[in-house]
Amino acid sequence: MKLKLKIWKQKNAKSGGAFETYDLDGVAPEMSFVEMLALLNQTLAQQGREPVAFDHDCHEGICGSCGMYINGYPHGPVKGLTTCLLSMRHFKDGETIVIEPWRAKPFPVVKDLIVDRSALDKIQVAGGFISVTTGAAADANAVLVSKKKSDLAFDSAVCIGCGACVAACKNASAMLFVSAKISQYALLPQGRPEAKERVRAMIAEMDSQGFGSCSNTGACEAQCPKQIKLFNIARLNREYYKSY
Partner 1 sequence: MNKTLFSAVSKKFVMALAGLFLLLFLPVHLGINLMLLKSDPEPFNSAAHFMATFPLIKVVEILLFLTILIHVTYGIILQILNWLSRPVGYKVRNKSETGAFSRFMIWTGGSVLIFLVIHFFNFYFIKLGLVDGNPEDFYSVAWQLFSIPGYVILYWICFLLLGFHLYHALQSAFQTLGLSNEFWKPVIRAISLIYAIAVPVGFAIIPLVIWLFK
Residues that bind partner 1 (CB under 8 A): 8, 19, 69, 71-74, 77, 98, 100, 103-106, 168, 170-173, 175, 200, 203-204, 206-208, 210-219, 222-223, 229-231, 233-241, 244
Q: Select from 167, 155, 138, 2 the least CA-distant residue to 74.
A: 167
> Least distance to partner 1 from the beta carbon of 211, Å?
6
How far is Cα 135 from Cα 66, in angstroms, rounded to an integer? 37
> Least distance to partner 1 from the beta carbon of 219, Å?
4
> Least distance to partner 1 from the beta carbon of 140, Å?
27
> Least distance to partner 1 from the beta carbon of 39, Å?
22
99 bridge partner residues? 7, 70
Considering beta carbons, is residue 56 or 75 the nearer one to partner 1?
75
Q: How many CB atoms lie within 10 A of CB 103?
A: 14
Considering beta carbons, is residue 66 or 99 the nearer one to partner 1?
99
Considering beta carbons, is residue 12 or 216 the nearer one to partner 1?
216
Angle at which helix 175-186 crosses helix 147-157, to 10 degrees, equals 150
How far is Cα 234 from Cα 75, in angstroms, rounded to an integer? 25
> Least distance to partner 1 from the beta carbon of 165, Å?
10
Considering beta carbons, is residue 32 or 183 the nearer one to partner 1?
183
- Kindly provide the b/e burial profile for residues 18-54, where b requires at least 16 CB atoms within 10 angstroms of the residue's own CB: eeeebebeebeeebbbbbbbbbbeebeeeeeeeebbb
Considering beta carbons, is residue 43 or 201 the nearer one to partner 1?
201
